[in-house]
């Protein structure tokens, strides 16, 4: 094995391990089918590195190259990706693990500040009321997310307050 291939292999393993340790446990189950991206409001809104593409970049060893990518903050935490994933990857958890990675290194764009403040206040970085649309496609009107769970919102606030981002004083 050439030294370059070994270095790339080590880099990929380290990136995958980092994201899995931060909560993206299903990362290695992804088969890149794209079901998650097909239902993702963030992808539809033009955030290029969400769901399938974020997972692909992590699995390709590009974690350091995308550390300042702001797309992850476009995730609405609607949980649609997790509901439709046939492999049980739980893409939303991978996105949140990547956010933790960014926050731990304080590597996020200033445009992410508003989404962080929204996440702290409402439990979602971006929130749209999708109850009517969910009902039309046969899903329960209220997604199983913090938007409809006050206890979960308080837990999110506590986590953010005690994170490196909480130390920035933006909440």
Domain count for the chain: 1
Binned at pLDDT 50, 70 and 90, residue 2 comes out as: low
Q: Report d(CA 6, CA 8) in Å as an integer.
A: 5
pLDDT in tens, 8-50: 788 899 999 999 999 999 999 999 999 999 999 999 989 989 9
**Residue whose tokens read 């590195």:** 49
What's the pTM? 0.67
CATH number of 144's domain: 1.10.1060
**Token pair in block for residue 103:** 């926050």
Q: Which residues contact 171 (CB under 8 A, 6 or more apart)?
A: 116, 117, 120, 157, 160, 161, 165
């Amino acid at each position: 094995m050439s030294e370059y291939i070994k270095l790339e292999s080590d880099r990929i393993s380290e990136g995958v391990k980092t994201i899995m340790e931060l909560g993206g446990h299903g990362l290695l189950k992804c088969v890149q089918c794209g079901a998650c991206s097909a239902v993702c409001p963030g992808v539809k809104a033009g955030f290029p590195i969400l769901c399938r593409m974020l997972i692909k970049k992590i699995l390709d060893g590009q974690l350091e190259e995308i550390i300042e990518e702001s797309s992850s903050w476009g995730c609405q935490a609607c949980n649609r990706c997790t509901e439709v994933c046939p492999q049980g990857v739980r893409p939303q958890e991978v996105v949140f693990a990547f956010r933790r990675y960014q926050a731990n290194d304080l590597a996020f764009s200033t445009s992410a500040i508003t989404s962080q403040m929204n996440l702290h206040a409402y439990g979602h970085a971006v929130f749209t009321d999708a109850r009517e649309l969910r009902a039309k496609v046969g899903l329960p009107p209220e997604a199983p997310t913090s938007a409809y769970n006050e206890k979960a919102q308080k837990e999110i606030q506590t986590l953010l307050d005690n994170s490196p981002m909480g130390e920035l004083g933006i909440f």
